[in-house]
Every structure is written in C-alpha cells, then in structure tokens.
C-alpha cells in the first residue's frame, strides 16, 4: 500500500511540474503572436495598395491592347499609388498618345496620368 501511495504522489508531483512548465511555455509564445498580429495588419495595408496598383497597371495594359491601332506592346505602364506613368520605346502619333492618356484616365483607381515618357512625333 505504501508503494502505491508513493508512486501516486510522485506521479502527481511530476504532473503538476509538467503542467506548470507547459503553462509558462504557452504564455511565452502567446505574447509574440499578439505582436505578430499587429504586424500582419500593417502588411495587409501595404498589400492592398500594391494589389490596387498592380490591378490598375494590368487594366491599363489590357485596355491599350484592345484598342485598334495602338502599339500596346511598345508602351510601358507603371503605377504608384494610383498615379500611372506611360512611356514608350517607339514613336507614337499625337492621336495615339492622346488616346492612350484618355484610356488610362477612364480606369477606376487612376488618380493622375503622366505621359511625359511617351515619344511622339
């Protein structure tokens, strides 16, 4: 009987020690996770902005590509916080340049268009 009581007491002591150690480990890992959650929110804001700029760039390229007579493959499109910059590797007519700017301005999310990089006649 004494052997059983000693074994039970030892098992209880070990269980309490392990539970205490587990509780300390759990608390230590929860605090950094709380901080990480705040960092994730900040990263999500940056991602939303980048996705919007990426979407605008893609939409401008697609709309220019579907425009008849527009050398869309020669027009480079860059977007930064809604401001779209157009540049070209080949010379465009004044009409093509004006049309490219008009198409770009009509896209949702575009706040301004810079066509200084478009080469024209």
Higher pLDDT pick, 35 / 68: 68
pLDDT of residue 121: 79
Query: For residue 6, what pLDDT is reported?
Result: 72
Size of the chain in residues:
121
Q: What sign does the CA torsion over 41, 42, 48, 54 have?
A: negative
Whole-structure pTM value: 0.59
Show the tokens assigned to 112.
């301004």
**In 3D, which of 48, 77, 45, 44 has the Cα closest to residue 60?**
77
Write the pLDDT tens digit of every residue in 50-100.
Answer: 558 999 999 999 999 999 999 999 999 999 999 999 999 999 999 999 999
Question: Going from the N-terminus, what domains does the chain have, and what CATH number goes with each?
Answer: 2-117 (3.30.300)
- Three-state DSSP at 118 gives coil
> Residues 5-22: pLDDT tens digits?
677 666 666 666 666 665
């Amino acid at each position: 009987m004494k052997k059983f009581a000693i074994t039970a007491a030892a098992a209880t002591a070990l269980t309490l020690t392990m539970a205490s150690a587990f509780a300390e480990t759990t608390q230590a890992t929860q605090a950094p996770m709380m901080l990480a959650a705040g960092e994730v929110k900040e990263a999500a804001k940056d991602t939303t902005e980048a996705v919007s700029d990426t979407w605008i760039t893609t939409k401008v390229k697609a709309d220019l590509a579907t425009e008849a007579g527009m050398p869309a493959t020669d027009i480079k499109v860059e977007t930064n916080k809604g401001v779209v910059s157009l540049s070209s590797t080949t010379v465009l007519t004044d009409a093509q340049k004006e049309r490219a700017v008009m198409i770009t301005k009509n896209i949702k999310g575009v706040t301004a268009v810079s066509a200084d990089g478009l080469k024209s006649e």
